[in-house]
Amino acid sequence: MSLTIEIADTPDDALRAQIAAPLLAFNSALAGPSGHRSLVLVLRHDDGSVAGGLWGATAHGWLYTQMLVVPEAARGQGLGAQLMQQAEALARARGCLGAWVDTQFGARGFYERLGYAVFGELPDYPPGFSRTFLFKRLDTAA
């Protein structure tokens, strides 16, 4: 078999799916189907426009929060905690045993206040900051 390496100048979702297909097949054969399901909560203004929200997914019994956005003017009012609590409740309803998130730029304390614990850190991502990985068990949390 002859293979070449090329740079994809305009990668798209279809190319990503083609690259991921053999990995997903291998993982499913090893660990079983992931049960991947998107989990998205939207914050809207009164006029219906999107103000922020939570973007994540459940898979292999875990909730992953990829993005949590609360408008700056609405921070400190508990909206972020409400979004996380609702996502965790939905994840529990889906049978998840835990949740994890990676964050940077000062949100670590927010997640720790919600019961998340650090399990890893990538220093200097970007330089001068750290990317922190946190998790929380949902099967034992109230």
pLDDT in tens, 20-75: 999 999 999 999 989 999 999 999 999 999 999 999 999 999 999 999 999 999 98
Q: What is the amino acid identity at position 119? A: F
Residue holding tokens 């990985």?
133
Q: Which helix (H) or strand (E) holds 110?
A: helix 108-113
Domains of the chain in start order, with CATH, are 35-137 (3.40.630.30)
Predicted confidence (pLDDT) per residue in 80-115, tens digit = 999 999 999 999 999 999 999 999 888 999 999 999
Residues 6+ apart with CB under 8 A from 74: 43, 51, 52
